[in-house]
Amino acid sequence: MTSRSAAARIESRNMSSCPERAEGGVPVAHPPRITGSSADEPIRVLHRGFDGLDMAFTGALRSKDVAILESARSCAESEFGETLIEVGPGRVAMHVAAEGIPGGYRYQCDTGPFGEKWFFSRNQDPDRWNIRVSAKSLPLALYGIETVYEKIRETLSALGIRHGAESVGRVDYATDLLMPDGFQIEPDHFVVHSRTSVTEHDSMLPVEKIGPDDILISLAGRHKSSTTIGKQPGRQVIVYDKRREAIAKNKLYWFDIWGLPTDTCLKVVRVEVRAGKKHLLDWEVRGFDDLLVKIGDVFLRGVDAVRYVDTRVELSNVSRYQLSPLWRVVQHEIASGLFENISGAEPGRVIAGERERIRQRYLEMIEALVPGAFVASGFTDADADDGVQRLLAEVAQHISTDPKKFRSRCTGARKRLHFVVCKS
């Protein structure tokens, strides 16, 4: 399979003499950034782009690298934590976990928050599907799917793996919308094929089956937090409170991408379309080039087959309901921006913000421990300033009495934070 570079692909599209259409027959127009049913109910598009990419490759690691992975996995098992290694002719740095995943992938590796998750079999047959990779949402948002794919190819080469057959296992596309105050997700406003399953869920609470169409509902307090239509490995459409999820999973870099403060109470809703392996094969999408040609049609068909409607005017025939403002924006954004999938956020600023948040978390942990040591040392509130200074001096004294132990702990921390501190 031949592949043009990401830059060449993007340039060729930008210079196209027919800007109203993109590859794969997807209509393209410049979308309004503020849209809604009225001026009083604006819907602002905060982000659109690919959010997930899973691929498999044929090939095999060198036997010496498999031995390194096996040793690292054993070390991770004994130390209850990931082990930092370097593998391949290009000395690719990875954290190795203590367990693999189903499917024969014994080794689970991670190249950090700005990279990917890699899964390897210890099989040495280069014609077998021994490698899987799952791209993370942050680099996809910052750089776009083509740049991420080129990075995966570069890593395969650095690992000494000949680029053989490839297979796309799943791809996700997300649109993040700043919604009007009071907006709530209503599962009964979705219009779907009668054989499609609808699931409303929240991991914090149990699931309750309530209807003949396999509608599963659970709530966060009184609020509906997520609705999923369809199942993997087919097609899924999921609508959920992305602000809440970003906070719960500590993915605060999304606020940098959106350009919103982390303490905002504004409602950010994500509409995510997921195409799994079976659904992609139905469209004859196998390799990455197939994906670029057809994925626009795949996702547009997805948000046409699954619709969120406006029920304010009651009709006897549900198929005649008009699309809600939310869904009109989503369809427009997918049609107009599918291949313009870089967030517009400055990568350096987002990366620096993520580093600073990690540093702040460590400082908060230190601050949380100080009061206990302060009280246990017999200090009173009146001794606050002097007592804290004496505690810090005592910590420094402990470090100075055993500098080797401190350096060893720093080495461990440096390994844990390797992909944060080494990111340029």
Hey, where are the domains in the chain? 26-52+170-344, 59-164, 348-421
Q: Which amino acid is at 252?
A: L
Contact present, 225 and 269 (Cβ < 8 Å)? no
pLDDT at site 346? 61
d(C-alpha 225, C-alpha 136), whole Å: 23
Helix ranges (H only) for 16-143 are 63-79, 137-143
pLDDT of residue 218: 35
C-alpha 223/C-alpha 217 separation (Å) is 11
| Parallel, antiparallel or unpaired: strands 215-217 and 198-200 | parallel
Q: Give the pLDDT confidence score for residue 341 in this predicted structure.
A: 46
pTM over 0.85: no
In 157-310 the beta strands, taken as DSSP E runs, fall at: 166-179, 190-191, 198-200, 208-209, 215-217, 226-229, 235-241, 267-276, 307-308
Instruction: Select from 43, 35, 48, 22 the least CA-distant residue to 303.
Output: 48
Strand partners, 47: 176
Looking at residue 121, its pLDDT comes to 96
Local confidence pLDDT in tens for the 424 residues of the chain: 444 444 444 334 333 333 333 333 232 233 334 344 444 557 999 999 999 999 999 999 999 999 999 999 999 999 888 999 999 999 999 999 999 999 999 999 999 988 999 999 999 999 999 999 999 999 999 999 999 999 999 999 999 998 789 999 999 999 999 998 888 888 888 887 655 566 655 544 333 332 333 333 334 545 667 888 888 888 888 898 999 899 989 899 999 999 999 888 889 999 999 999 999 999 899 999 999 888 888 898 888 888 888 876 665 555 677 888 999 999 999 888 775 544 455 667 677 777 788 888 888 888 888 888 888 888 888 888 888 888 888 888 888 888 888 888 888 888 778 777 776 4
What is the per-residue pLDDT for 193?
Answer: 63
**Eight-state DSSP code of residue 17:** S
Q: What is the pLDDT of residue 312?
A: 67
